[in-house]
Structure 1
Amino acid sequence: MESFKNKVLLGDCRKVLKKLSDSTVSACITDPPYNYEFIGHKWDDSEIQRRKNRIKDSKTLVKNIPYGSGLAGGVRNERWYRRNRENILEYEDWCLEWATELFRICKPGASVLVFNSTRTIAHVQVALEKAGFYARDIVVYRRSSGIPKGINMEKNLEQKGYANPENWQGWHSCLRSEWEAICVVQKPLVNNYTQTLLEYGTGLFYAKHEDGGFQSNILENIKRDKTPDYNVHCTVKPLELMKKLVDIFVPRVEGTIVIDPFAGSGTTLVAAKQAGIDYIGIEVEPSYIDIIEKRLQSVSELQEMPLLFS
């Protein structure tokens, strides 16, 4: 395991995770592709750019998301709902594949945090539970803003020439999407929290808030980063957010390793390095490795913090 510490490994995490030893990882914080990115497509940068370019000059409000699953539009007939359900089950099976290997390498009591959309977080949790993890919580990351992406029925009826469209003023097909879900699961403890802590240094959350109160499972007022030009990843999470998750869920003890099997642009790894915690990243897209390495190199030794316990 020592040869993998503080490295970013290139490849499909379902294969790369098999190279790691049993019961060696203390925590996982990861942001896998969401379900709308899933159906029948690979997740390399060329595919992401192709799908973003399709909507560049369209009326779509959110242009940084690689749409193209084929599940957003269309006639809501029996075939559409069947295809939607098949896609969900396929996505759940895919999550189970990597979750099974992740379960094997986690220490007892290890916390695993997985980002996903509000629509599909339940399916991610089911897959993680099938792999053996125990559900603990859903943490809410409240973004600074959100845009409604559904149908404005008043305008829809007006454009199609229906009478009295104003009767449907204010009626839409969705609410404003303003938060992301973070599924929190845990590998089962060894008998209890005390024994697990003493044997593996895992199992607990740091629940003291900055103001002295008790930490909530709603994370808000997180500032967004100014992304450098070389970071072309389309869904970069704020560093402040990932640092907060590291502070709460990653134990500060000797031997701690945090893993991100979907490293993306490396924000989880940067947060871990700033906290003085060993990390392992896995990323399937080669061009993102360079982004991660540049970001990790920018973390100076002065930023790193010592472990609390050894």
Structure 2
Amino acid sequence: MSEIVPNTVILGDAQETLKKIPDSSADLVLTDPPYFLDKLDADWDPQEVKNITQGQVIKNLPGGMRFDPDQGMRLQEWYQKISQDIFRVLKPGGFFLSFSSPRLVHRLAVAVEDAGFYIRDIFIWVYPEGRAKAQTLTRYTSVKDERLSYWKTPQVRGNYEPIVVAQKPPEGKLVDNFLSNGVGLFNFSERLEGNYFPSNVLMTEKMAFLPPIFLIPKPKKEERGDFNTHPTVKPLALLRYLIRLTTQKGAVVLDPFLGSGSTAVAALLEERKYIGIEINREYYQIAFRRIEKAKQEKAVNSTAQPLLL
């Protein structure tokens, strides 16, 4: 079985492909895993919903109405197995950063911890562009009752994403581990806007009740690419910052759920190496195009403008 080398994107299953990565070879794992929120809640009759909405299919129901509670447990079991593979390939002291969703972050955190990692923190990425999720009940039930006026499904506008910050146990003291393995500490050399130290709240715009610590917008069309159909593209600015915070130049950044390639592009722009794994052929091809475009642009402008310094 041939080993996977850095600056590679692999089309394949994460669990199977991780077996080909050498022990203690990655400095950072940065990923946004799938959550499998795709089932209808048991309280809703799929056929009734389909009839009432005149052909609206189940997949178009709001997320809070297609979640089987058992899925959270299955997600935790599955992600623990993935995390065990990640534990092996990470260097001692290396960080494992997992994007999550508010109602599943506890499952991911427990899965990662049970795989042997330390949970160091939960970062919160706050953004203003969240969509309203609550739905009027008359869209999904034939019950007519004035008491339902102004009452909607139990979902509010989503304006944040949690990021589980985990660490593989270091060898000995943190300082000794950093000097021998090059990982395990946070980089505080660069202050953020307003001369603030890094924070576990990452914001997209100034808010009256919070200091302007970290300004990160969701990715625009120009950044995503006209050809990018991935639904959850993360901002390069956010990924670049997380990479700088946890690694040194030349480090290997692994993303076992690469999607459309943002982590690899961010690593490339920050002068790190990357390994990406993606099971979806369409997203794999998009990632390849984005990485090649980033390489070309970097070659033209070798002094790429730094972000969030």
> The TM-score by the shorter chain falls in which range?
0.7 to 0.9
Aligned to 1:205: 186
| Within-5 A mapping of 1:23-172 | 23-37=24-38, 72-73=65-66, 84-152=68-136, 160-163=143-146, 169=150
Task: Between the two structures, name the one with larger relative contact order (CA 8 Å, sep ≥ 6).
Answer: 1
Aligned residue runs from structure 1 range 165-244, under 5 A: 169=150, 173-207=154-188, 208-221=191-204, 222-223=216-217, 224-226=219-221, 227-244=224-241
C-alpha root-mean-square deviation of aligned residues, in Å? 3.1
**Offset, 1:216:** 1.3
Name the amino acid aligned to 1:296. I
The within-5 A match list for 1:274-293 is: 274-293=269-288
The match for 2:209 is none
For 1:235, the aligned partner's letter is T
What amino acid is aligned across from residue 244 of structure 1 in structure 2? Y
Residues 124-162 of structure 1: per-residue CA shift (max 9 Å, x gap): 111111111100111111122222323457x78998442
- Encode CA deviations 1:141-188: one digit per residue, 9 max, x unaligned: 1122222323457x789984424556xx47762322111111110001
Between the aligned partners of 1:95 and 1:4, the Cα distance in structure 2 is 24
CA distance in 1, matches of 2:37, 2:71: 9
- Distance across 2 between alignment mates of 1:232 and 1:34: 18
CA offsets 1:51-85 (integer angstroms, 9 cap, x no match): xxxx9x9599xxxxx66899725xxxxxxxxx934
Query: Does the aligned pair in 2 maintain the 1:274–1:304 contact within 8 Å?
Result: no
Unaligned runs of 5+ in 1: 40-54, 61-65, 74-82, 306-310
Q: What is the aligned counterpart of 2:248 among 248, 252, 262?
A: 252
Structure 2: gaps spanning 5 or more residues: 41-52, 205-215, 305-309
Normalised TM-score (structure 1): 0.77
Letter in 1 for 2:172: N
How far apart, CA to CA, are the structure 2 residues paired with 1:107 and 1:172?
45
The answer to which of 192-201 and 222-231 deviates more is 222-231
Counterpart code for 2:65:
A
Identity of aligned residues (%): 32
2:266 to 262, 267, 271: 271
Q: 1:15 to 1:157 in 2, by over 3 A?
A: closer
The 3 A distance-change label for structure 1 pair 152 and 213 is same
Distance in 2 (CA, whole Å) between partners of 1:163 and 1:3 is 62
Between the aligned partners of 1:97 and 1:119, the Cα distance in structure 2 is: 20
Pair 1:96–1:2, CA change in 2 (3 A): closer
User: What is the count of residue pairs matched by the alignment?
Assistant: 270
Question: What letter matches 1:248 in structure 2?
Answer: L
